[in-house]
Amino acid sequence: MPQNISPIFNCNECPFQWFVSSYVSKEEFERLHKTSIQVKYAKGEHIVKQGTISQHLVFLSKGRVKFNYETENGNNVILAIASSPGLLGGINLVNVDKFMFSIVAIEETEACLISTDILKELMNSNNQLTYKMVEFVSTIFKDSIFNFINLAHKQVNGRIADILLYLSRSVYKSMSFTLTLTRKELSEFANCSPENVIHTLSRFNKEGIIKLNNKSVEIVDLKKLENISKFG
């Protein structure tokens, strides 16, 4: 179970507080703040679990997480990777059904659990806040859908190139980064075998497209990687 440590981070520096405070009064936000819980998760711990119902929205203050979907036959698929800061699990703001996927920490992560009941009350009395929260929920699903569309029609080379570009631009935000995903997780993201991932990364390394050193990755030939992503 995650360890509840309060306070882990300074709420006054929280982007979520800045965002919500733009639409609600100080007193209204204080109701939300008093019921929020700061939590630290270790790598591999579930923040939310597929098939459960949560009473919290999660604000990711530090770290990175993966969105996992487990199929009926037990296979695991990674839908997306998210980096802090950001909101997670917003589907339960507009849908009281069970979570369609799990959110799992892929490195040490700090988060704030925000009461959906109180947030819904604030949304009911503030149309602008409601619009922005629904917009946020839609963005998460749009990113996941685009990922599936991009990967569905590509060969393994194109899938791995896509993922390297996605990790560089959206997750680690650098041309050089240290992977916090295992080869198995990369294969679940690319929908191929771990052996295909290892072989493709090794070939990209030999061809000078990337520089690979254990967990460290550097994109050396961005144009060539983009071409493989486009035509692979």
Report domain extents, the chain: 3-149, 154-231
Q: Residue written as tokens 């996992």?
A: 68
Cβ 89 vs Cβ 48: under 8 Å? yes
Cβ 164 vs Cβ 222: under 8 Å? no
Cβ 61 vs Cβ 14: under 8 Å? yes
CATH 3.90.76.10 at 154-231, yes or no: no
Token pair for 162: 């896509």
pLDDT at 171 over 50: yes
- Which of 21-35, 128-142, 144-158, 198-212 has the highest mean predicted lDDT (pLDDT)? 198-212
According to the model, what pLDDT value does residue 4 have? 47
Token pair for 26: 């100080």
Q: pLDDT for 28-64, tens place per residue?
A: 888 888 888 889 999 999 998 988 877 788 888 899 9
Q: Exposure of 45 by Cβ count < 10 A (0-12 exposed, 13-18 middle, 19+ buried)?
A: middle
According to the model, what pLDDT value does residue 2 have? 47
Cβ 222 vs Cβ 211: under 8 Å? no
Q: pLDDT for 191-213, tens place per residue?
A: 889 999 999 999 999 999 999 99
How much is the pTM?
A: 0.81
Write down the H helix ranges in 12-75.
15-21, 26-34
Cβ 133 vs Cβ 139: under 8 Å? no
- Which of 2-16, 72-86, 111-125, 154-168 has the highest mean predicted lDDT (pLDDT)? 154-168
Q: Which CATH superfamily hosts domain 3-149? A: Jelly Rolls (2.60.120.10)
